[in-house]
């Protein structure tokens, strides 16, 4: 949100322009783990839940933004982990940019590609 003062000393008479929509909520990692259909992410979530504890993992705060065209542009999540009496806060931030820019993808040479294993397919 960008706030610019109007031609008045009163703070109540400021104009406000929304540059992006912001959503601040919490996510339940325990429920997410239960609903994740793939083995590897489910195990990774289990490790994270174990490190956080059930109470903290049930309500992890996050902040997300979309731009004026409704495109997802920002995600921030803070997790708390406790070990040996010490507590560590970790904030993960993902920023998406250059949305709508053209993308050029070139397939690799056929002789450098191999079929994924069954275990690799299951982990997706």
Q: Is residue 33 part of a domain?
A: yes
pTM for the predicted model, two decimal places:
0.57
* Total tally of structural domains belonging to the chain: 1
- Dihedral (Cα; 113, 116, 117, 121), 10-degree rounding: 180
Q: Is residue 32 part of a domain?
A: yes
Residue ranges of the chain whose pLDDT lies below 50: 1-19
Res 3: pLDDT: 36
Q: Which domain holds residue 35?
A: 18-98+116-123
How many CB atoms within 10 Å of residue 65?
Answer: 18
Res 76: pLDDT: 92
Q: Is residue 34 part of a domain?
A: yes
């Amino acid at each position: 949100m960008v706030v610019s003062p109007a031609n008045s000393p009163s703070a109540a008479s400021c104009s406000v322009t929304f540059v992006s929509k912001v959503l601040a909520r919490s996510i339940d990692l325990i429920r997410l783990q239960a609903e994740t259909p793939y083995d590897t992410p489910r195990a990774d979530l289990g490790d994270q839940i174990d490190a956080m504890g059930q109470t903290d993992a049930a309500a992890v705060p996050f902040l997300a933004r979309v731009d004026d065209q409704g495109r997802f542009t920002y995600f921030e999540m803070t997790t708390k982990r406790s070990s040996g009496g010490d507590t560590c806060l970790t904030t993960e931030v993902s920023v998406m940019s250059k949305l709508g820019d053209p993308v050029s993808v070139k397939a690799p040479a056929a002789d450098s590609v191999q079929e994924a294993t069954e275990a690799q397919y299951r982990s997706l």
